[in-house]
């Protein structure tokens, strides 16, 4: 005899089970794409990682939209560099309900009055109060950041701690392999001079011992002035500079005009990884940077 009660219970289980699974998924929000690549490797199949600042937008001058505030409010963890990069987030994160992981220390305490997490070391290039906020340009800082993301999520969700640790170890192995490959790839070009569009690559340059001669601007939203352009043009003519790197986010007509009459190659370095997929991940992004540098300096 057909048991209607059992059928109803079975249908209820089928309908409810996916909802319960979805509710358990982790939700992480990062400010910029490179941090999303790192966080996604740690979260992996346990949840989703969204990036707040859309492709093509600069974290230095972004204006948060209502949809972005909703995204932050729904997060289990928010990961950002700090006020020296994403100034627009400072007041918003003071009111955020979700735990906030700040990766760059700007003072002894963060915006919530707690000791700030730091993954930055001293660098000769100074930005926004003394530290370079483009911390994703140093792969070892990103390995440190990955561990902090893993620890923050494990503390909140101890039931996922084992899997998060496995994900971190897999990421660490892949990243260190890529880092070693890029290091070997760039050794022949450590003395080759080049110029970049904006001062975003100092940590990468330092990490791999490269020879960056100059940059056109500190702030990518501000075009270089006539004096700066003249100085770099003279530099390109008188020193051994083999390449000028532009960025996909910004029109480089003036720079192209300067370079057009000189025996200098043009390359592209993307400081925000806008075309890098989650599958490629941060190690893939690092390899892309290395390959672009090599191809232009060859």
- Per-residue confidence of the chain (298 residues) as pLDDT tens digits? 445 555 444 445 444 434 334 458 999 999 999 999 999 999 999 999 999 998 878 888 788 888 899 999 999 999 999 999 999 999 999 988 899 999 998 654 343 333 333 343 333 344 444 589 999 999 999 999 999 999 999 999 999 999 999 999 999 999 999 999 999 999 999 999 999 999 999 999 999 999 999 999 888 777 788 888 888 888 888 878 989 999 988 877 788 888 888 889 999 999 999 999 999 999 999 999 999 999 999 9
* Cβ–Cβ under 8 Å, residues 59 and 31: yes
Write the DSSP symbol of residue 247.
-
Rounded to two decimals, the pTM is: 0.84
61-76 burial string, b = 16+ CB within 10 Å, else e?
ebebeeebeebbeebb
Position 45 scores a pLDDT of 97
Q: Any idea what the Cα angle at residue 188 is, between residues 179 and 267, rounded to 5°?
A: 80
Spatial distance between the Cα atoms of 284 and 37, rounded to a whole number of angstroms: 9
Position 83 scores a pLDDT of 93
Q: Which of 176, 173, 117, 119 is nearest to 144 (CA)?
A: 119
Helix pair angle (161-186, 33-43), 10° resolution: 130
Spatial distance between the Cα atoms of 270 and 293, rounded to a whole number of angstroms: 11
Spatial distance between the Cα atoms of 268 and 248, rounded to a whole number of angstroms: 7
Which stretches within 86-225 are classed as H helix?
90-94, 139-156, 161-186, 202-208
Position 195 scores a pLDDT of 94
Position 237 scores a pLDDT of 85
Position 206 scores a pLDDT of 97
Domains, the chain = 23-181 (3.40.50.1980), 188-297 (3.40.50.1980)
Position 25 scores a pLDDT of 92
């Amino acid at each position: 005899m057909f048991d209607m009660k059992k059928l109803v219970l079975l249908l209820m289980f089928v309908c409810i089970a996916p909802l319960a699974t979805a509710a358990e998924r982790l939700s992480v929000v990062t400010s910029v794409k490179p941090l999303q690549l790192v966080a996604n490797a740690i979260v992996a199949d346990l949840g989703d990682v969204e990036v707040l600042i859309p492709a093509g937008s600069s974290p230095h001058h972004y204006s948060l939209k209502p949809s972005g505030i909703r995204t932050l409010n729904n997060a289990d963890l928010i990961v950002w560099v700090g006020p020296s990069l994403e100034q627009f987030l400072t007041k918003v994160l003071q009111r955020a309900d979700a735990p906030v992981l700040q990766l760059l220390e700007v003072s002894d305490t963060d915006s919530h009055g707690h000791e700030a997490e730091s993954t930055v070391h001293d660098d000769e290039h100074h930005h926004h109060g003394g530290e370079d906020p483009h911390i994703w340009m140093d792969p070892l800082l990103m390995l440190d950041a990955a561990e902090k993301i893993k620890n923050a999520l494990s503390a909140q969700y101890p039931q996922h701690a084992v899997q998060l640790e496995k994900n971190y170890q897999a990421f660490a192995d892949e990243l260190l392999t890529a880092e070693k490959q890029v290091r070997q790839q760039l050794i022949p070009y450590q003395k080759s001079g080049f110029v970049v569009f904006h001062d975003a690559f100092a940590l990468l340059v330092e990490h791999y011992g490269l020879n960056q001669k100059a940059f056109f601007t500190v702030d990518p939203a501000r075009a270089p002035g006539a004096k700066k352009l003249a100085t770099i043009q003279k530099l390109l003519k008188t020193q051994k500079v083999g390449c000028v790197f532009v960025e996909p986010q910004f029109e480089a007509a003036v720079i192209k005009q300067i370079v057009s009459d000189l025996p200098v190659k043009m390359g592209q370095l993307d400081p925000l990884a806008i075309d890098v997929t989650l599958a490629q991940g941060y190690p893939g992004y690092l390899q892309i940077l290395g390959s672009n540098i090599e191809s232009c300096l060859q």
